[in-house]
Amino acid sequence: MCRTIAVANQKGGVGKTTTSVNLGIGLARAGKKVLLVEADAQGSMAVSLGIEEPDELDVTLVTIMEKVIHDEDIEHGKGIIHHAEGIDFIPANIELAGLETALVNVMSRETILRQYLNSVKGAYDFVIIDCMPSLGMITINALVAADNVLIPVEAAYLPVKGLQQLIKTIGRVHRKLNPTLDIMGILLTKVDRRTNFAKDISTQIREVYGNQIHIFENCIPLSIKAAETTAEGKSIYLHDPKGIVADGYQSLTQEVLVGEE
């Protein structure tokens, strides 16, 4: 059984792409077959995986979703790129922003991504969708296609305030479009362990949400090494294998795998 995880938060800069990539590669290192799907017009995941100019790609998630919209056959494996660290991925670029507008007039518009993933996920143990920082139609497509939502939250005041809106949206999608969707957990990111402020925010999140939503045991520490991986085109496991961020994502991977048992 394949498990589809949407990594979502309408706030940008909280570590969605870094989490998607390093969780995906962590699962691949544990022997799982993983497909990463970039549902973000910024193309950050493509860049993180070594594609220097995502806007110049001929085939992206937009190409695939347009074929689903027009009931056209999709050639097996089309648009799926294999990465040297053992994962497959489907990139996106700026064209995805245009597709979001076009989806307004499409029949069953919330289910386009799910229709496609249902045709390929038999080959994978995990599909991880890196969502754009908004709650628009592409993010709704990701939530409809997913089994679980992983919510990265920066350990700072304003990103925490926006959590309630995201949780309400997930609840609406669960009630109206995807009754199997649930929240896998909140992952605290960019945690500066040297400050009391970060500890206070962590405590606040556990107090407010801990009774209703799982909070991952291990947080992702603040580190310049995590930011550097995007420019390097490789995961934290290759860039800084003995560092605190690699430890954080290794622990997250283990928590996700334990949840499978």
Section 12-30 average pLDDT = 93
Is 70 contained in some domain? yes
Q: Is residue 169 included in any domain, yes or no?
A: yes
Q: Is 130 helix (H, G, I), strand (E, B) or coil?
A: strand
CATH number at residue 101: 3.40.50.300
Helices of type H across 103-210? 112-120, 137-145, 157-161, 163-176, 196-209
What are the tens digits of pLDDT across the range 140-162?
Answer: 999 999 999 999 998 776 556 67
**Rounded to 5 degrees, what angle do the CA atoms 109, 114, 117 make?**
140
Q: What is the pLDDT of residues 210-236, one digit of tens each?
A: 888 999 988 898 877 776 776 677 889
Identify whether 258 is part of a domain: no
* Residue 260 maps to a domain: no
Would 208 be classed as within a structural domain? yes
d(CA 71, CA 64): 11
Mean pLDDT of 1-30: 93
Q: What is the pTM of this model?
A: 0.93
Select the more confidently predicted residue: 195 or 206: 206
Domain total of the chain: 1
Q: Are 13 and 227 in contact (CB under 8 A)?
A: no
| Rounded CA separation 191/213 (Å) | 19
